[in-house]
Chains A and B, each alone.
Chain A
Amino acid sequence: DAKTTQPTSMDCAEGRAANLPCNHSTISGNEYVYWYRQIHSQGPQYIIHGLKNNETNEMASLIITEDRKSSTLILPHATLRDTAVYYCIVRVATSNTGKLIFGQGTTLQVKP
């Protein structure tokens, strides 16, 4: 699975959009980009995933660059409850183990 690089921490004002970047310059053609988050020692929570097209769901949007070497997770209207560690994970869809490799992630602090 390709390695990802994320900023260690970010701040965002409540009600504003939070844009979390992720670099994955060695991504392969069959690897997807997944985003999960973990709120203070709770179980990780799936947010969104994509291959090459931009994706949107009720939680967030995922923007993947055309060369697929980086992506951005967008929380359109951040709330205090979005304060969490956000993990960008790159892996093949047909993993033999189903394993998710969580790196250090980005700690997002949403401030009033």
Chain B
Amino acid sequence: EAQVTQNPRYLITVTGKKLTVTCSQNMNHEYMSWYRQDPGLGLRQIYYSMNVEVTDKGDVPEGYKVSRKEKRNFPLILESPSPNQTSLYFCASSSGTSGNYEQFFGPGTRLTVL
């Protein structure tokens, strides 16, 4: 089944403790992206990747890092999480290098930073 998976689905952590949210897709998509969703603010793009080893900042990249060492994986790294990064996170992927086709979203990761 074609899908985007994220792990973990739920995470409660404390300020400053490094964490990684994994994202993996099995559709051989070039394009991948991370969003965060907050009440009243909609979905905002954090980082995106056009292809392996090509990443770029979205609208809200501060406090996040990403890497794209292989096509299927696009982990989101929070080196020193803070409470304002408490949010619902979604990974997305799409064929084509610009995400211009149908985008497939993962199930989401609900992160709470205390």
What A residues does B48 contact at CB under 8 A? 97-99
Smallest distance from the beta carbon of B29 to chain A beta carbons, Å? Answer: 11
Q: How many residues of A contact B (CB 8 A)?
A: 19
Interface of B is mostly: strand
Q: A98-B100, A99-B33 are in contact. Are A43 and B108 (CB under 8 A)?
A: yes
What A residues does B45 contact at CB under 8 A? 97, 99-100
Determine whether the beta carbon of B56 is less than 8 Å from that of A97: yes
**CA A96 to CA B45, docked complex, whole Å:** 13
Chain A residue, CB-CB nearest to B102: A46
**CA A103 to CA B40, docked complex, whole Å:** 9
**CA A5 to CA B33, docked complex, whole Å:** 25
Identify 11 new A-B residue pairs, CB closer than 8 A, beyond the known A43-B90, A46-B103, A103-B42.
A41-B88, A44-B103, A46-B104, A95-B98, A97-B58, A97-B98, A98-B99, A99-B58, A99-B59, A101-B42, A102-B42
